[in-house]
Each structure stands twice: as structure tokens, then as C-alpha cells.
Chains A and B, each alone.
Chain A
């Protein structure tokens, strides 16, 4: 397949993922509103917000790193998404998947936040370094159980290629990692809560405590880019989790159904629980999910994987 065709396919896939991620965001706001007993904004509200932020007539910049911050963040989201095969066996949605892409994806999940830290730091507002410090600390802690779960999965399938991991889970739903390696899934799903930054772990972006956190100085189009990335990055994370732990998807409908339910897990937890303080959330991540991750590696190393 020529590289240009592949680029075209990737562009289509990215737009589908962004639209899907933003719609999910709208649905989440609706669900939260229903839990509060409100009507809530319409489902397409995130799209209106993005048009509105891009339609501002002026934008204040604080320097070169400030300009690059949102770009890095978007690059993190794009990078994560572009190396994940979205639909198993589909040429249109296979993106740039290759051998060892799992490591690259793990790197890109972290990359966006680091770039954001550089950009927001130049904004000069005292709350943005505070938000970044909390964000990076929380990210480091939830990366521990997530990495352990990924290592466990890599040992189990003896591969670092997402496509072959998905291939190994085909056949029956009993082949999913969810049933063959449940401890790794427990560790990873708990770290997903931190990754999505919904309620128990939303201290990073808490508008009541440190007004909006890292993007406090981001305005106009900068904020628009960040919001676009929020949709894309959410979709990328969900697809990654679906591929690693829930057997991947063979068509678009299956992908939508599976990712929707994975997302709803963190939404329901978020709607039901109040917010953790930073030190509580760090301790939580380094305790139970980490133990589950270590146990899953020991379990897999002793009893072997499928291959």
C-alpha cells in the first residue's frame, strides 16, 4: 500500500475519532447533568464550544513555548492515536501500526502532558505550575499500575505489537485479556480513572480549587486546540484499552459499543464519588492497583501466557 493512501486513511480515521471523542464528551456532560437532576447541555455542546473558542478575534500569547504548548498536547493525542490499530483487519482504520508500537504509544500518552507543562509554565500564572505539578505527579503514579498491566499483557502474548495482541484475543470472548488475565485488567481500569481525570482524580483540573489548572492562561485558539485534543485523546485511550484488554473490534459498530462501555465505567465512578485530594489519589494509585499489577505479572510469569 502506498504511503499516501495510508496517510489519507489515517486522516479519515483521525477525524472519525475526534468527532466520536467529542460526542462522547457531550454525552458525559448530559449524564452528569442527569445525575445532578438537571437537563444539561445538548450533546453537540463540545462542538459549539470549539467553534466559539476558534472564533475569538484576538489571542494573547506569552512567548514561543506558550505557542508550542497546545501543539505538543495535540501531537501527544495524535501520536497516541496514529500508532494504534483501531479496527482489526481493516485497512482504513489500521493507522500506522507496526511491530513494537505498544512502547511508542506508552510514550505518547505521557508526551502531551510534558509539552503542556512547558507551554503553560510560560503563561506566568501561579496556578498553572501548581496544576502541572499535580498533573505530572498524578500521571507518574497512575502510569505505574498501567505500565505493570501492559508488561503483564506483553509477557502473556509474548509481543509488543498491538495488532498481534488483538489477533491473539480473537475467536471467543473467553480469549479476551479480561478473562485470561483479570488482575492486569483491574490495575489498568483503575489507572484509566486517573487518565480520564473524572471525579475522584479530577484535582488537576478542579475549577473550584485551582481555576482550571494548567490551561488557565490558554485563550482563544490555544484553548480550542486543547479541546480538540481532549476529544481525540479520549478516543485514543479508549481504543487502546479496548485493544489490549477487551479483544479489539472487527467493525466500527463493535468499536463504538465497546469503547462506550469502557468510558461509561469511568463516568459512573466519577458521577458517584467525590474528589480526592492530591496526596490521597497518589497513595491510592501506588497501593491497590499497583499490587494488582505486580500480582498479575507474577501470575502470568508462573502460569504462562497463551503462546
Chain B
């Protein structure tokens, strides 16, 4: 009796993956993500120090931000001296840089890439478009607030912000990481249903699993 009850609870906790076809559901994971607690204070402090010194960036060039990210790698601005390195795959990256406006089609890819990153993961939102819509505030196809869809750690305001502003944003992120304030990964898990509801409200053709492992 008790075991049956537990099974029922477990089944309710599983993700439905309703939008996938019936025969494909078994191929995808239906587990919910779970929170991972930090280690004890001093060890986590050391790890955070190392994480902040070695930021691996996944640059998601959605709009004009892509143009501002490139100069960061060149010799004029040289982000590598801060330990920031570009990484071509979400599996290895730890910082997700959203470069500007995100259309509905893009936010689907953003959510997918964000969920595939291995935590602790940080998000830098670039430009006014991610804060309140910027100049696309009345557009039918671009979102207004990024933090309703994925947790954001640092905003960089401007249209577009210069590479110097980007470096300042990265340094602010480092300070936050060292202070242990960047728990976006756990926040996403805690408010998982809320984020999913917001995402599904605008992504009408949700043809992927509910959580992309």
C-alpha cells in the first residue's frame, strides 16, 4: 500500500513530455532536475574562486550583441587575460551570454542550450532588449523580459553596450560568483514549474522534451 502510494507520487513528479509523440517518449528523460547543494563554506569558496577565474563562455549571438562580442576576443580588448575563454558547445560552457533581442524562435533554442549546460551556470544578458524589450518593446515576435524564461545573473544595459561595458559586466559577475550569490541553477530548479509555464505560453510548438538533459 505504502509502496504503491510512493509510486504514484513519483509518477506525478515525472515530467509529462506531452508534446512529444507517444512512441518517442521513452527515448527522452522524464526526470525533473534536482537542486544540488553547495559544499561547506570554505571548500565552496575555493571552488567559486576557481570558477570565477576560469569563465567559459557560450556566446549566443541573437542580434546586434554578436557584433559586440567579437571584439572581446581580439587583441584590443583581450578577454583571455581575465580567464574568459569562448567555448563552442553548451556542455562545456559555464557562462551563457545572450547577445541582444531574443525572438520566440530563438528563446526556444536559448532554453534548450541553457538546460544542456552543466551547472553551476551563469547568464549574462546583454543590451536593453533583454531587460525590458528595448526598442523592440512593442514587437509581436521578441520577448520583453528574459528573466521570465531563464534566471539571469548580470544585466548589461545599453543599446548596444560597448566591449568595455561587457568586460565590466564580466567583472561584476566574478564578484557575484566569489560572494556565492550566483545560484541561478538552483533557482531554475526551485521555480521550475513557473519557468516552464512562462516558456510554454509563448513557445506554441513545443516539440522537445520538457527538460533537455
Asked whether any CB of A lies within 8 Å of a CB of B in the complex, the reply is yes
Q: Which residues of A contact B (CB under 8 A)?
A: 29, 33, 36-42, 45, 48-49, 51-53, 55-60, 207, 211-212, 216-220, 223
Residues of chain B within 8 A (CB-CB) of A41 are 80-81, 83, 85
Residue B59 is within 8 A (CB to CB) of chain A in the complex = no
Closest A residue by C-beta to B213: A60
Main secondary structure of the interface of B (DSSP, over half): loop
Residue B47 is within 8 A (CB to CB) of chain A in the complex = yes
Please report the C-alpha to C-alpha distance between residue A218 and residue B92 in the assembled complex, in whole angstroms. 7
B72-95 vs A, Cβ < 8 Å mask (1 yes, 0 no): 000100101101011111011010
Q: How near does chain B come to A36, taking the closest CB pair, in angstroms?
A: 5
Judging by beta carbons under 8 Å apart, are B54 and A51 in contact? Answer: yes
Judging by beta carbons under 8 Å apart, are A48 and B91 in contact? Answer: no
Residue B143 is within 8 A (CB to CB) of chain A in the complex = no
Residues of chain B within 8 A (CB-CB) of A49 are 54, 85
- Answer whether A60 and B118 are a contact pair too, CB < 8 Å, given A33-B78, A49-B54: yes
Q: CB within 8 A of A52: which of B51, B86, B89, B119?
A: B51
Q: Which residues of B contact A (CB under 8 A)?
A: 36, 47, 50-51, 53-54, 56, 75, 78, 80-81, 83, 85-89, 91-92, 94, 116, 118-120, 185, 213
Can you list 20 contacts pairing A with B, beta carbon distance less than 8 Å?
A: A29-B80, A33-B80, A38-B80, A38-B81, A42-B83, A45-B83, A51-B54, A52-B56, A53-B92, A56-B118, A58-B119, A59-B118, A60-B91, A60-B116, A60-B213, A212-B88, A212-B92, A217-B91, A219-B91, A220-B118
Residues of chain B within 8 A (CB-CB) of A36 are 75
Please report the C-alpha to C-alpha distance between residue A52 and residue B53 in the assembled complex, in whole angstroms. 9
Please report the C-alpha to C-alpha distance between residue A140 and residue B88 in the assembled complex, in whole angstroms. 27
- Answer whether A216 and B118 are a contact pair too, CB < 8 Å, given A45-B54, A49-B54: no
Residues of chain A within 8 A (CB-CB) of B116 are 60
Judging by beta carbons under 8 Å apart, are B36 and A216 in contact? Answer: no
Please report the C-alpha to C-alpha distance between residue A110 and residue B86 in the assembled complex, in whole angstroms. 29
Judging by beta carbons under 8 Å apart, are A216 and B50 in contact? Answer: no
Q: How near does chain B come to A195, taking the closest CB pair, in angstroms?
A: 23
Interface centre among B53, B83, B119, B213 (most CB of A within 10 A): B53
Judging by beta carbons under 8 Å apart, are A207 and B92 in contact? Answer: no
- Answer whether A40 and B92 are a contact pair too, CB < 8 Å, given A55-B50, A57-B36: no
Please report the C-alpha to C-alpha distance between residue A218 and residue B56 in the assembled complex, in whole angstroms. 14
Residues of chain A within 8 A (CB-CB) of B56 are 52
Closest A residue by C-beta to B93: A219
Closest B residue by C-beta to A32: B80
Judging by beta carbons under 8 Å apart, are B120 and A39 in contact? Answer: no
Please report the C-alpha to C-alpha distance between residue A203 and residue B91 in the assembled complex, in whole angstroms. 21
Q: How near does chain B come to A127, taking the closest CB pair, in angstroms?
A: 9
Closest B residue by C-beta to A123: B91
Please report the C-alpha to C-alpha distance between residue A59 and residue B91 in the assembled complex, in whole angstroms. 9
Q: CB within 8 A of A57: which of B53, B80, B89, B185?
A: B185
Q: CB within 8 A of A55: which of B47, B185, B213?
A: B47
Q: How near does chain A come to B186, taking the closest CB pair, in angstroms?
A: 9
3 closest A-B pairs by beta carbon, nearest first, are A211-B88, A51-B50, A52-B54
